[in-house]
A and B are shown apart, each in its own frame.
Chain A
Amino acid sequence: MFPPLPNPDVSAQKPPLFGEQDLVRRSASRVPAPARQLTPVAKLIDVSKCIGCKACQAACLEWNDLREKVGVNRGVLDNPDDLTPDSLTVMRFTEWINPSTDTLEWLIRKDGCMHCAEPGCLEACPAPGAIVQYSNGIVDFIHENCIGCGYCIKGCPFNIPRISRVDNTAYKCTLCSDRIAVGQGPACQKACPTQAIVFGTKDEMKAWADLRIKDLKSRGFDKAGLYDPPGVSGTHVMYVLHHADQPHIYAGLPDNPRISPLVRAWKGAGKYAGLGLIALSVVAGVIHHLVQGPNRVTRHDEEEAERLAGDKP
């Protein structure tokens, strides 16, 4: 068992462990390099240990004070059937027939924000300060700066953010940044009865994952492995998968997630090229006017027009 985090010391109010001074990225703006580097944190979700109880979903709603609407059953256990602005995490159930053994495997993956080291949402966001990244790896949405454009949805390689129809801002898992700031683990982790979700420093989580993977391999899952995709420079929510060679079987977990080249083109060099072309067209007009001078109608033109008009009764 991974040693659980102790309960908080409630005897005295302490300042948060991190804050605005620890930002390494801020959407559509720059931040000064932080004075210190926080220890990167991570949440490890061991898919092989998950029993699908949805305690994590309940804990998430509870801690974040969110209430999901009564939905519709679509014949599967997923409830709700997708992430919503209120359900920041959702268990995705997949019935998968393993072709090598011809047995049914029930794959359960807790979906939610992966807290990418290279966040596509942040890259795409046009609103200064609406998405921030702390040096401990947490990617957070700052709702007062969010304008609800939905660009984060286009930027995210995992299809995570959802726009609320109530306040028109984007929502996703915060990794319980407010809990971590006071030395606690995320609510989902706290509620998990099987330690399928554990939380600690990223190094601890990788080491813990190694033990789990060794265990799984000894049980015949020789393709077991850690999902910490390099395409987004790693994530601060990682999975232990028993079939790490094919992440897509887990309800479409991307095999090789990365920020789409379309998003890169749209938010990168394309912007400067576009603004440059617009500026160039204005400059061309100014130069043309300086060289040519105004194109004025002459007295001769008016006289010709008068003659023409006068010809006709």
Chain B
Amino acid sequence: MTDRTHDDIPEAHVRVPRYSGSARVNHWIVAISFILLGLSGLALFHPSLFGLTVLFGGGQNARWLHPWLGIVLVVAFFGLFVRFVSQNLPERTDITWLARLRYALSAGGEDYLPEVGKYNAGQKFVFWSQTLLILVLLGSGLCLWQQGQDYLERTLGIHVSIETMRWAAVIHATAAVLTIIVFVIHVYSAIWVRGTIDAMTSGTVTGGWGWRHHRRWLRRKVREGDVDVEHSKGASGS
């Protein structure tokens, strides 16, 4: 048990805006629908987890809600994709970062890593793998959506054969497991790297957080003048 002294949480006089209000709302819609999808999906994934359906008011409800939640997630995730894609394009430094992954995974190892922009290679991995997995889940999920089959056939002329449905079931389950693992990585990283969750709650991070984890991004924000510097205690908070 460490005492939460001032050394633990140093006073921050610089705060840097990281996510706008709309980006945060967008993110939390994705997050909530993802969790609900995970719970309703796992309920049908294994009999031992079927009890999770009580959270949705029974098996029938979990069954019909799941695909509609999926549609909500896909639309909301598309919003996140458009917002963040330009910051997630691969760069040369990502290779160096990944090559030194063991430093990235140890507290204080940042000194051995290249200065990173808004996102490091690990965050980019989460972004792109979730993008890909959500597309796979969407495609396979549509094939499994029994009540949507008539609609698919009538409007789009797509007939899904039973053999295709079987493939879709295997692919959907596999992609679901992978997307949950990436989700675990995402959530764990946000917890492990203290100060990160602020970015998605208050929308800002401390200057020190930027300096430690995203120095190139911090330099850009400072250059653009997009930082809040608290000059004296009396003037703050007005």
Interface residues, chain A, CB within 8 Å of chain B?
Answer: 28-29, 126-128, 145, 147-151, 153-154, 156, 159, 163, 165, 168, 260, 262-263, 265-266, 270-271, 274-275, 277-278, 281-282, 285, 288-289, 292-299, 301-306, 308-312
Stretch at the interface among B27-35, B90-98, B129-137, B190-198: B190-198
Contacts of A263 in B (CB 8 A): 166, 169
- B62 and chain A: residue at smallest CB distance: A147
B225 interface residue (CB < 8 Å to A) = yes
The answer to whether residues A285 and B174 also contact, given A154-B169, A274-B45 and a CB cut-off of 8 A, is no
Contacts of B233 in A (CB 8 A): none
The reply to whether B45 and A309 contact each other, CB–CB distance below 8 Å, is no
Q: How far is the CA of A147 from the CA of B177 in the complex (A)?
A: 22
The reply to whether A148 and B60 contact each other, CB–CB distance below 8 Å, is yes
Contacts of A151 in B (CB 8 A): 44, 169
The answer to whether residues A305 and B210 also contact, given A159-B162, A266-B166, A277-B181 and a CB cut-off of 8 A, is yes
- Chain B interface helix/strand/loop/mixed: helix
How many A-B contacts if CB must be within 8 Å? 178
Contacts of A302 in B (CB 8 A): 10-14, 206-208, 211
B107 interface residue (CB < 8 Å to A) = yes
Q: How far is the CA of A108 from the CA of B59 in the complex (A)?
A: 39
- Shortest B200–chain A CB gap in Å is 17
The reply to whether B207 and A305 contact each other, CB–CB distance below 8 Å, is yes
B232 interface residue (CB < 8 Å to A) = no
The reply to whether A312 and B206 contact each other, CB–CB distance below 8 Å, is no
Contacts of B167 in A (CB 8 A): 262
B209 interface residue (CB < 8 Å to A) = yes
The reply to whether B219 and A308 contact each other, CB–CB distance below 8 Å, is yes
Partner of B170, one of A126, A163, A265: A265
- Shortest B81–chain A CB gap in Å is 23
The reply to whether A297 and B63 contact each other, CB–CB distance below 8 Å, is no
The reply to whether A274 and B177 contact each other, CB–CB distance below 8 Å, is yes
- B108 and chain A: residue at smallest CB distance: A295
- Shortest B122–chain A CB gap in Å is 12
The reply to whether B207 and A306 contact each other, CB–CB distance below 8 Å, is yes
The reply to whether B146 and A295 contact each other, CB–CB distance below 8 Å, is no
- A289 and chain B: residue at smallest CB distance: B192
The reply to whether B195 and A297 contact each other, CB–CB distance below 8 Å, is yes
Instruction: Select the residue from A168, A260, A295 with max chain B CB neighbours within 10 A.
Output: A295
Q: How far is the CA of A298 from the CA of B90 in the complex (A)?
A: 29
Q: Pull 10 A–B residue pairs with CB atoms less than 8 Å apart, ordered by A.
A: A168-B64, A274-B173, A278-B177, A281-B180, A281-B184, A295-B192, A296-B8, A299-B6, A305-B210, A306-B229
Contacts of A274 in B (CB 8 A): 45, 173-174, 176-177
Instruction: Select the residue from A150, A302, A311 with max chain B CB neighbours within 10 A.
Output: A302
Apart from A294-B107, A308-B219, 18 more pairs, CB < 8 Å:
A28-B47, A126-B44, A147-B44, A148-B146, A150-B144, A262-B167, A262-B169, A282-B184, A288-B105, A292-B192, A296-B8, A297-B208, A301-B10, A302-B14, A302-B206, A302-B207, A308-B207, A312-B222
Contacts of A127 in B (CB 8 A): 50, 59
The B51-77 residues at the A interface (CB cut-off 8 A) are: 53, 58-60, 62-64
Q: How far is the CA of A294 from the CA of B107 in the complex (A)?
A: 7
Q: How far is the CA of A65 from the CA of B192 in the complex (A)?
A: 62
The B106-163 residues at the A interface (CB cut-off 8 A) are: 106-108, 144, 146-147, 150, 162-163
B89 interface residue (CB < 8 Å to A) = no
Contacts of B64 in A (CB 8 A): 148, 168
The answer to whether residues A305 and B208 also contact, given A147-B63, A274-B177 and a CB cut-off of 8 A, is yes
